[in-house]
Amino acid sequence: MRKLTLPTVLLFIALALTTLSNAQDNIWTPETHMKVKRIGGTAISPDGEYVAYVVTSPVMEGEKSEYLSQIWVAAADGSFNLQYTRGEKSNNSPAFSPDGKQLAFISQRAEKPQVYMMRLMGGEPEHWVSPIPTSSL
């Protein structure tokens, strides 16, 4: 076996220390737990080209303590990944239309949760059906 030279030993020590300090930086705390965004509510377009999904993150500025969900749409080939809905109210449960050109979703933007439709490639959301009774959600 080759004899360990001083520079090699120093390198090992440096690597070990780096790993150790990284481990301390990565220590689990309630705060770090909150930084992990949750992914859910996925839907795949009928042609398999697009994936809609929901990203949920905490909002804790000032008195606020709530989760905000927004819909993202990504191309299955990885060529793009865009935030599809925005705003201070949550948008959930994406579903593609049978022709794949529109995306329906439930939004909290009005007083009660309602279903909206939006053209997959841009446009304003259209209110689609009357309010959903909260008890049925």
Partner 1 sequence: MGWSYGGYMTSFVVTRTDRFRAASMGAGLPNLVSMVTTTDISDYLVAHMGGEFWDDYDTYEKHSAIYHFKNVVTPTQVIHGQNDVRVPFTQGQEFYEALKRKGVDTEMIVYPRTPHGPREPKFLMDVSERIAVWFEKYLEE
Phi and psi (nearest 5°) for 131? -50, 145
Q: Provide, rounded to whole angstroms, the least separation between the CB of residue 30 and partner 1.
A: 4
Contact between 38 and partner 1 per CB under 8 A: no
Single out the residue of 4, 9, 15, 67 in contact with partner 1 (rule: CB under 8 A): 67
Among 31, 77, 111, 124, the residue binding partner 1 under the rule CB under 8 A is: 31
The encoded tokens of residue 134 equal 């909260």
* Interface with partner 1 (CB under 8 A), residue from 9, 34, 132, 137: 34
Compute the C-alpha angle 46/47/48, nearest 5°: 90
User: Which residue in the block uniquely carries the two structure tokens 């080759």?
Assistant: 2
Measured between its terminal Cα atoms, the distance across the chain in Å is: 68
CA distance 65 to 84: 23
**132 sits near partner 1 (criterion: CB under 8 A):** no
Task: Specify the residue, 6 or 36, whose C-beta has the smaller distance to partner 1.
Answer: 36
Q: Which spans of this chain sit near partner 1 (rule: CB under 8 A)?
A: 30-31, 33-34, 58-60, 65-67
